[in-house]
Structure 1
Amino acid sequence: MPHTVEWKVRLHLFEEEGSTKARVVLDTGTTVLTGHGTAHRNPVDADVPEIGDELAAGRALHDLGRQLVEVAERDIEHAGAPATGRRARPETGWPL
């Protein structure tokens, strides 16, 4: 059974004095989730705003992804399926 939907995503970046903050807002039409991320430039490093943007945006998207998985797991449990055991599995990737 085909299923097509459109979700809207907005990414906002704010830079000030060596810090970049990102906020990503996902609107599914029924749910709105917001992810946040921050990047701080070491004062001895060159000022390259694109790097701060990339790090902060990536961290905000990671936060949003984590929230989406949590919502899906709750929906699965509410649908009567057994818990996925996600919390028992180790995280992968680099720490934030």
Structure 2
Amino acid sequence: TPADLRVRAALIVENKQNQVSTYHGGFWGGPWGGYWGGPAYTETRTLDYQVGTLQIDLIDGRDGKLVWRGSARQVLRNNAPNPAERAAAIRETVAKVLAQYPPR
């Protein structure tokens, strides 16, 4: 007999960019009312990062229709954790997604 529900999980990774501009002012007021300083400039940096989405689908085992979909998104860290940290993060994220079921 077919299972009541089938589970399908997917990890979707998106590459993102964010531009951050920092203004560095040029002239400031001096202690006697004068001005001193240098030229003003704006520094713009581009930050590259990845956003991961864990998507879990529950599918009806008889007709194959989607019963429920839950997901969680987060920015992925650049420094890869060790296998134990990675496994713990996966378990935590799966629990977070499944806590959304059943829909309220």
User: Which structure dedicates a bigger proportion of its chain to strand?
Assistant: 2
User: Which structure dedicates a bigger proportion of its chain to helix?
Assistant: 1
TM-score class normalised by the smaller sequence: 0.3 to 0.5
RCO higher in structure (CA 8 A, sep ≥6): 2
